[in-house]
Amino acid sequence: MASDTDQEDFSFGEMFEEPAGYLPPPPPSKLVEYTRPSPLDPRTIKINLLGTHPLWGHHLWNASKVFASYIDANPQTVRNKSVLELGAAGALPSMIACAQKARRIVVTDYPDADLLQNIQTTVDLNFPRSPIISVAGHLWGHNIENILELNGNQKYNVLVLCDLVFNHSEHAALMRSVLGLLEKDGRAFVVFTHHRPWLVEQDLKFLERAQSEGLVCERILEEYTGAMFDDDPGDERVRGTVHGFVLSYPVIVADQ
């Protein structure tokens, strides 16, 4: 019988480790500038984007640009209000909310270090040392307490959801966050494009879910921007149109 010292070593060691330089480095981050209409100040918002990311956080989505324009045209949407952005990626609407004098802004995305650091970079580029903006990780449907703490343990006046409804498997979790974080007289803005025209009905099920939870759903905008990705399949007009809705709790009229 072989002794312990005679036994073969069946560990694979470094056999399957990739040699240094085998994989190409990830693309570098890039800076994108968003120009606001004159005479708004600041005129230019700088958005830092990751070179690539599996959660699509490396794009400045058309829905975000359209809603940023909507805020600038309707500053009362955010002025002197608490604003929470979910799945922020480039966080353009949050930057516009700050420019339009929101009272408190919390910018969230999936709790991934690269995503959150990228958002923080964008904040620092535009509003360095601002005391009203916080960046935090948030997994939809879970642990809303830390997000509430960032607003003095109060729910938010405004929720921003830009290009999130394509993630059909997460509709229920996303709705839990909306219901847990939206103030009773607040409004949640849901802005999106049907990137896959054959899945329009599935995208819209998020709005149906909101209505089933007692929220009122109202269309606020529809704008053709052109498709995000020219080579994607499906009707380009569908892929290139941004839709916007606002969700709110029904107004209860007191008895006279």
Per residue in 193-233, pLDDT (tens digit) is 999 999 999 999 999 999 999 999 999 999 999 999 999 99
pLDDT, mean of residues 74-97? 97
What pLDDT shows up at residue 10?
40
Q: How big is the chain by its Cα radius of gyration, in Å? A: 22
- For residues 72-80, give the mean pLDDT: 98
11 has a pLDDT exceeding 90: no
- Please report the DSSP string for 198-243 in residue order: GGHHHHHHHHHHHHHTT-EEEEEEEEE---S-TTSSS-HHHHTEEE
Measured in degrees and rounded to the nearest 5, phi and psi for residue 14 equal -100, 15
Question: pTM higher than 0.85, yes or no?
Answer: yes
**Is 88:112 a contact under the CB 8 Å cutoff?**
no
Average pLDDT over residues 175-201: 98
Instruction: Give φ, ψ of 138 to 5 degrees.
Output: -150, 120
Residue 197: is the preceding peptide bond cis (ω within 30°)? Answer: no
Backbone region of residue 21 per phi and psi (left: phi > 0; alpha: psi in -120 to 50; beta: other values): left
With cut-offs at 50, 70 and 90, classify the pLDDT of residue 16. very low
Structure tokens at 29: 């981050």
User: Is 5 or 180 the better-scoring residue by pLDDT?
Assistant: 180
Query: Which range has the worst mean pLDDT, 49-53, 98-102, 222-226?
Result: 49-53
3-class DSSP assignment, residue 168: helix
Q: Is the pLDDT of residue 4 over 70?
A: no
Whether residue 141 contacts residue 172, with contact meaning beta carbons closer than 8 Å, is answered with yes
**SS3 per-residue string spanning 185-206:** EEEEEEEEECCCHHHHHHHHHH
Cβ distance 153 to 117 under 8 Å? no
Whether the predicted pLDDT of 12 surpasses 70: no
The residue among 246 and 17 whose pLDDT is bigger is 246
Q: What is the mean pLDDT of residues 45-63?
A: 79
Mean pLDDT of the chain: 90
What number is the average pLDDT over the span 132-142? 98
pLDDT of residue 57: 64
pLDDT above 80 for 141: yes
